[in-house]
Amino acid sequence: MQAYCQSVFSDLPVLETRRLRLRPLCMRDERDMYRYASDPEVARHVLWDAHESPRQTRAALRSALRQYRNGSPSSFAVERRSDRRMIGTIGFMWINCEHRSGEVGYSLARDCWNQGYATEALSAVLRFGFETLRLQRVEAMCEVDNPASARVMEKCGMTYEGTLRSRVFNKGRYSDVRLYAALRDDPLPDINKFSL
């Protein structure tokens, strides 16, 4: 299982949805990534700090490329098909091969919020996790004061399993997080068949 997952992440496929292409990150994404990763509001609920310079963005991209080379769990670039702009990232934070489980995380440019893009991307990555990676369980978490992210998980058919108190230390404070999960046999909606 571990060797199989490593082979998938070292040659990450392109996932097509109705409005998005989820593809491997590349150094050409620097400008688009810096545009949203430097926004403190985008960084508010994720575990990385807002980028202070393009140099920091280049370092993040180089780190992603190293993850691909190592076959480590990694992220897709979220590219909008209409204008080929990279508007965010989504991918696996970790995978436990023994238990066939993993955790997904995502971030999106602020001007693309509330348009269904995160829901569309998460739906595709859940299917990738179950069908390609052969996982049994996929988790995702959000801070309790980030209800928009919770709605994304709920729209994708993930089940709320509880609140983990002081689960993360983020931006100088301990935060409670809501834990969601989907199982392989759960009936997940095919978001891309419907208008968002």
Domains contained in the chain, CATH given: 2-139 (3.40.630.30)
What pTM, to 2 d.p., does this model score?
Answer: 0.94
Using an 8 Å Cβ cutoff, are 74 and 102 in contact?
Answer: no
**Which of 5, 6, 3, 22 has its CA nearest to residue 132?**
5
Average pLDDT over residues 27-46: 97
Q: What pLDDT shows up at residue 2?
A: 85
- Residues with Cβ within 8 Å of 55's Cβ and at least 6 positions away in sequence, in order, are none
Instruction: For residue 102, give the H/E element and its range.
Output: strand 101-108
| CA 188/CA 135 separation, integer angstroms | 14
Q: Is the pLDDT of residue 191 over 90?
A: no
Confidence of residue 80 (pLDDT cuts 50, 70, 90): very high
Q: What pLDDT shows up at residue 142?
A: 97
Q: What is the DSSP string of 36-51?
A: HHT-HHHHTTSSSPPP
Average pLDDT over residues 18-28: 97
> Percent of the chain scored above 90 by pLDDT?
91
**Which of 95, 96, 98, 78 has its CA nearest to residue 86?**
78
| CA 187/CA 28 separation, integer angstroms | 37
Q: Is the pLDDT of residue 143 over 70?
A: yes
88 exposed, middle or buried (CB, 10 Å; 0-12, 13-18, 19+)? buried
Q: Is the pLDDT of residue 119 over 80?
A: yes
Amino acid of residue 77 = A
- Residues with Cβ within 8 Å of 22's Cβ and at least 6 positions away in sequence, in order, are 14, 15, 16, 76, 77, 78, 79, 90, 121, 124, 125
